């Protein structure tokens, strides 16, 4: 029972992180119709920036805030210099160009920070276990991730649903020509949205950093998961991304936690421990395949009115 609660929270925490990553991706995708493979690189950069700034400033919170700002700037710079010239191209050009960016970022990181991974140590106040119910303790930091991510998700929801910018974003996601007709400075809106997406990816990366090692290529696996999420949720839909992210986070975490024991019932112990992670990773892709077969537009397509 204890284990179930803990794993359930872990799943929620991972799902929320995935949402932060997927939200930026789905916005950029829905509004600019741009496939950004380098989104995972921004996630990685967020983690590296955090690892660096936390050491420099000797403050976890300040370092993270600086890292967030740095990722935002990096995203805006990237959009301004290169990517905005690609919006009118086809998806293949997007894939190729951002694939190039992945190569670049991976080696740039290797050059600057070296090939070995970095660790981002937590401040003492975040390492204490937190009693969530009588007798059940949960790491304070993971709880903090859940709180922050939920807060950001709510904020995002508020911005998208209640503000003027959000109105434009929603309009753009369902009908691109319309915002042009409204006489909005589209270039600025695009840059803003891209920067927002980059910051969300950076936030996900820096929050994940203390749990995993900060290393080259950390953004690639998780990027694919984010893609799976926006495909399941429906491209351009924040709500779809949120639900799909939680769902995928749960399946991945619970699968990893409980599949090995389940498999041990039928397989030898070593075979089970090799097969289980593979199987739980596969579950997600299986889920995506099923969704696409049943509803090729995803569960919550943004274009529907």
Partner 1 sequence: MKVPLNARTIIVALVVAGLLLLPVYTTLSGNVFGLTLFTRIIIYALAAASLNLIMGYGGMMSFGHAAYLGIGGYAVGILAHEGIGSGFIQWPVALAASALFALVIGALSLRTRGVYFIMITLAFAQMAYYVASGLARYGGDDGLTIYKRSDFGGLIDLSNRVQFYYLCLGCLLGGIYLIWRIVNSRFGMVVQGLRSNERRMQAIGFPVNRYRLVCFVISGTICGLAGALLANNTDFVSPAAMYWTRSGDLMVMVILGGMGSLFGPVLGTIAFLLLEEALSQFTEYWALIMGPLLLLIVLFARGGIDGMLGRVRRG
Q: Contact 19/241 with Cβ under 8 angstroms?
A: yes
**With respect to partner 1, which residue has the nearer C-beta, 7 or 281?**
281
d(C-alpha 193, C-alpha 80), whole Å: 12
Query: Min. distance of Cβ 5 from partner 1 in angstroms?
Result: 28
**With respect to partner 1, which residue has the nearer C-beta, 135 or 296?**
296
Give the DSSP letter of residue 58.
S
d(C-alpha 18, C-alpha 233), whole Å: 12
**With respect to partner 1, which residue has the nearer C-beta, 19 or 105?**
105
Query: Min. distance of Cβ 266 from partner 1 in angstroms?
Result: 14
**With respect to partner 1, which residue has the nearer C-beta, 9 or 231?**
231
Query: Min. distance of Cβ 152 from partner 1 in angstroms?
Result: 25
Query: Min. distance of Cβ 131 from partner 1 in angstroms?
Result: 37
Query: Min. distance of Cβ 94 from partner 1 in angstroms?
Result: 8
Tokens for 69, please give them.
Answer: 């700002």
Q: Residue 290, exposed/middle/buried by CB under 10 A (0-12, 13-18, 19+)? A: exposed
Q: Contact 204/20 with Cβ under 8 angstroms?
A: yes
Q: E strands, the chain, where?
A: 129-133, 136-139
Q: Contact 74/194 with Cβ under 8 angstroms?
A: no
**With respect to partner 1, which residue has the nearer C-beta, 12 or 257?**
257
Which residues lie near partner 1 (CB under 8 A)?
Answer: 29, 35, 37, 82, 85-86, 89, 91-93, 95-97, 99-108, 110-111, 220, 224, 227-228, 231, 235, 270-271, 274-279, 281-282, 285-286, 288-289, 292-293, 296-298
């Amino acid at each position: 029972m204890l284990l179930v609660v803990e794993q359930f929270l872990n799943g929620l925490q991972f799902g929320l992180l995935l949402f932060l990553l997927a939200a930026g991706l789905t916005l950029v995708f829905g509004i600019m119709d741009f496939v950004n493979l380098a989104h995972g690189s921004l996630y990685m950069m967020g983690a590296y920036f955090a690892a660096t700034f936390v050491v420099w400033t000797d403050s976890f919170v300040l370092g993270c805030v600086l890292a967030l700002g740095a990722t935002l700037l990096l995203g805006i710079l990237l959009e301004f210099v290169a990517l905005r010239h690609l919006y009118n191209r086809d998806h293949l050009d997007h894939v190729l160009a951002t694939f190039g960016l992945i190569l670049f970022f991976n080696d740039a990181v290797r050059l600057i920070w070296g090939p070995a991974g970095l660790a981002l140590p937590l401040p003492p106040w975040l390492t204490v276990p937190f009693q969530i119910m009588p007798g059940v303790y949960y790491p304070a930091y993971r709880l903090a991730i859940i709180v922050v991510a939920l807060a950001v998700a709510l904020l995002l929801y508020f911005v998208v649903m209640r503000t003027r910018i959000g109105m434009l974003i929603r309009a753009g996601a369902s009908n691109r020509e319309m915002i042009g007709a409204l006489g909005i400075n589209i270039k600025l809106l695009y840059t803003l949205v891209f920067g927002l997406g980059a910051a969300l990816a950076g936030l996900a990366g820096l929050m994940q950093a203390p749990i995993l090692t900060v290393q080259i290529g950390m953004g690639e696996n998780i990027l694919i998961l984010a893609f799976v999420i926006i495909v399941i949720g429906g491209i351009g839909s924040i709500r779809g991304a949120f639900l799909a992210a939680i769902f995928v986070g749960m399946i991945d975490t619970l699968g990893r936690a409980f599949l090995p024991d389940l498999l041990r019932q039928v397989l030898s112990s070593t075979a089970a421990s090799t097969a289980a992670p593979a199987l739980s990773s596969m579950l997600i892709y299986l889920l995506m395949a099923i969704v696409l077969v049943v509803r090729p537009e995803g569960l919550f397509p943004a274009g529907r009115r």
